[in-house]
Structures are given as structure tokens and as C-alpha cells.
Structure 1
């Protein structure tokens, strides 16, 4: 099984990496082209474009200016250890063993507006560029048009190399839209996490994001290869709900 997750806005480049192993992103040439475009924006334009505060805009303006190749362990960090936020709280990559990180490296991919597709140990430098933002490039009016089928093709290449028959979609809608589902050469399984609130089960973003991370960790640590085994997931009160599940959507629910 190949797992897909989203990146995070929160980053940690201060804490020392728990692993010295690293790899290089396959799309650094494309990342460099995007950085070149982003450097044309002023801090005020970045604030408008990203809908963020002037302080955050200034930070990202400086990030784009300082972004440079080649990456190494002195100026960059492995993606799975650099990203923070709810999904990555659930994964808790710092506590994974070197062997488990290697399992993640083989079975997990992170979608990214700037880097396209990342392996967990791919080095990244600090950035913020959400996939849904409308950045004008020579490929089109937004990042979906910029990446085209490159992300899909790279995922298919990995699926073929690993002889995987299943793609586990634990990414947000914004990021999974960068994947052309019709062209994916695998069965797509989407776990959904719902909490019981006000008399009904609903997706609560904060909890659902962390649960996606917990599910990712569950798959990695147990080296799962069969989607049927996902139904055994029962972390933090979530259990498989067969009544709400249908086709390739596996719904996990918990009571508040």
C-alpha cells in the first residue's frame, strides 16, 4: 500500500533531526522554477496572495529569498521531521525507529505545493505554498495546472516499482485534487474520521487531521499491505464503522 498525506503549514527547523539519513526530492527543478516566480512578489503581495498577516508574509518573503540548492543537513531537513501540525502530531515521526522511518520512506508520500511529491526523508527548506493557491506561472493560473500530471505520473511510477495495488488517501481534498484519480493505476481507499457531535457524526477538521496521522503511523508500524487490516485501527477512541462505510470509503467514528 502507498499512503498519501498533506504537508503542514507549521515547520520545525530548530530541533535537531533524529535521523542522519536523507534523500533528494525528484522535482527540485520544478521547485526552483516556482521559487523564481515567488521571488517576484513583495511582502504585501504575498500577504494578499496567501491571505496571511504582514508578519507571516515577511517571513515567507525572506524564506523565498534564502531558498537555494543544493540541500544538505546544514541548510535543510527531512520532510517528515520538518513538518509539524495535526497530521504530524499523529505520526510522531521523532519517535519512529530508523527501521520504521525506512518503512515510511518506501510506503508514504507527502503532497506539496512547492515540491510536488516528497518522500519522508527528502530534504526540504522552509516554505509556505498551499496547493490551492492561484499562482500564475507559464504552465497556467494555479498550482494544479503547474503540476499537471507530474504528481500522478510519479505516484504511478512508485506504485509500479513497489507492485502496490492500493493507494491509501489520507490527504486533504485540497491536496488530493492534484492527483488525477482516473489515471491512478491502483485502487484508491479513503479512510474518513468522524466524531459524534450534536446528535450526528461529522468530520471535525482538527481531530480528523490528527487521526490521519495516527492511521499513517498505524500502517507504518504494522507494515500493513491489505486494506482490510485498516479496519483494526482503534486509536484514541476511533473504531471502524461498517454502517457508515461504503465502497472504498472506510469510516471510523468515535463518541465524544
Structure 2
């Protein structure tokens, strides 16, 4: 999950349009889905380290994947994903004007779809970005996406007039945004639990906090990078001593 910070604009009082949108890399998603359709159950289990039941579920999903899905077969991306980061985002409780703002500023990294906006209509799937899926472009999804995701982020930043990207994604997913091709300043919030005077990243809590940070930026309509230092959800506070130019630390006392 990535958030761009753009200059403040005048208030728009026009009705909010929450019409589902087309994913930018829909053709790539269809291409990857066809590759996944050719995987056996054994290959799916190995590729994604999942159980037999989940392998069957995902085999059936990729078999049903359509290049032109019916409306009932898709949902907006912001509501499709689960997991701790998306629990922190809690997209279902966002107001319509929050979603409209997020549509221009919040980007979701996806192994299958590359880069998604909250209202992009997608089909159910499971394909982690770190999967070693062999395609004509290489042996991993990182090789498949190359610098396409970074270039898409550059283009989106140009539209919104920003030079700053707040990285709320995991290392596995953000690695898909080729840093040599990415022209934006990247700030990565880091969330740590302090116990006995020692700060430590606890994955479960850090994931939820990254989602909550994305929500904070959206609901507060932040435009200045320095403003994210005011994030206090969950009891976190900005820690300048543990921060540097690229990584901004937020700490709290461990429960």
C-alpha cells in the first residue's frame, strides 16, 4: 500500500463518483492468470506454500478468471483484500469522499494486477508478489513487472503534482517498484514496540499500523510529508532518534 502526497487543492463540492474503474494492468493480469491456470495442484501448493484445499480454491479461481468479467464477478480492490494491513486501513468504514481522495492517492501493489486504485474492479485471486512464477519475462514476478510499476507511480505522481511517496507496503511488495526507475522521494514509516528499552518490529502490529497510517493520510487529506509525524493511532509516536531521511520510526510501549 502506497500513498502519494500532493499539494492542496480547492474544495470540490461536486457529487462523489464511486463508479468501479478498470485496472491499469488488466491485460497483464489476464496474461498471468492464464499462466496460473496451467499450474497443477502440486505446483500451486509449492508456489504459494498453501494447503490442498487452498490450492483447489485458487485453481478454480484462475480457471474462472475472465478477460472480460461480469459485474457480479468483481469487487473494488479496497474491499477485496484482507489481512492485517487492510484491517488497519478499514476501507469499509471510509466515507465516500475519503474513497474519492484515496482513488487519486492510494495505490495497492498486487502480484497479479501490478498496481491498483481502491475502486479498480478485480476478480478474486491469490498470488503473492514474492512468488517464483516463471513467465517469458523471467523466473519471478519481480522480473515480470520489471520497471512497469515504478513508471506507473511516476506517471500518477505527475498527474497529482507530487514528488513524495509514503511507503506503507511490506518489503516483499515494495521491491516490485524498481527503485532505479522510481523518481519520487520515498518515506517509509517503521513501527516498533519498545520493551525493556529495546525497540523491536513485531510483524502483526507493524502490518496493522501501516494500514492505519495509510488511512490517516487519506482521512486527514495530508499534503505535507512532515504531517505524518502527527500519527498517534494505536499509541504510536514519532521517534526522531530512530529515524533518518528515508525511514521514519514510530514507537510505543510494548503491551
SS at structure 2 position matched to 1:138? coil
Residues 153-186 of structure 1, C-alpha deviations (whole Å, 9 max, x = no match): 1111001111111011111000111111122222
* Residues 187 and 164 of structure 1: CA distance in aligned 2, closer, same or farther (over 3 Å): same
Partner of 2:7: none
Instruction: Report the CA distance between 1:231 and its aligned residue.
Output: 0.5
Q: Please show how residues 1-256 of structure 1 align to structure 2 within 5 Å.
A: 3=3, 21-197=19-195, 199-256=197-254
Work out the number of aligned pairs and report it. 241
C-alpha spacing 1:198/1:125, structure 2 compared with 1 (3 Å): farther
In 2 relative to 1, CA 20–116 (structure 1 residues): closer, same or farther, beyond 3 Å? same
Cα distance, 1:103 vs. partner? Answer: 0.6
Q: Give how far 1:199 is off.
A: 4.3
Asked if structure 2 preserves the Cα contact closer than 8 Å seen for 1:152 and 1:179, the reply is: yes
Q: Take 1:255 and 1:135, find their aligned partners in 2: how far apart are those partners?
A: 40
- 1:198 shift after superposition: 5.2
Give the distance between the partners of 2:107 and 2:169, measured in 1 at CA. Answer: 10
Cα distance in 2 for partners of 1:198, 1:48 equals 40
1:43 is displaced (CA, Å) by 1.3
The TM-score with structure 1 as length reference comes to: 0.91
Q: Tell which deviates more after alignment, 218-227 or 194-203.
A: 194-203
Equivalent residue number for residue 12 of structure 2: none
- Provide the rounded CA distance (Å) in 2 between the counterparts of 1:71 and 1:37: 18
What is residue 13 of structure 1 aligned with on the other side?
none
- 5+ unaligned residues in a row in structure 2: which ranges? 5-16
2:70, 2:77 → 1: CA distance? Answer: 13
Deviations 1:5-45 (A, max 9, x none): xxxxxxxxxxxxxx962101011111111111111111121
Given that residues 71 and 123 in structure 1 are in contact (C-alpha distance below 8 angstroms), is that contact kept between their aligned partners in structure 2? no
| TM-score, normalised via structure 2 length | 0.91
**Which range moved further: 231-240 or 64-73?**
64-73
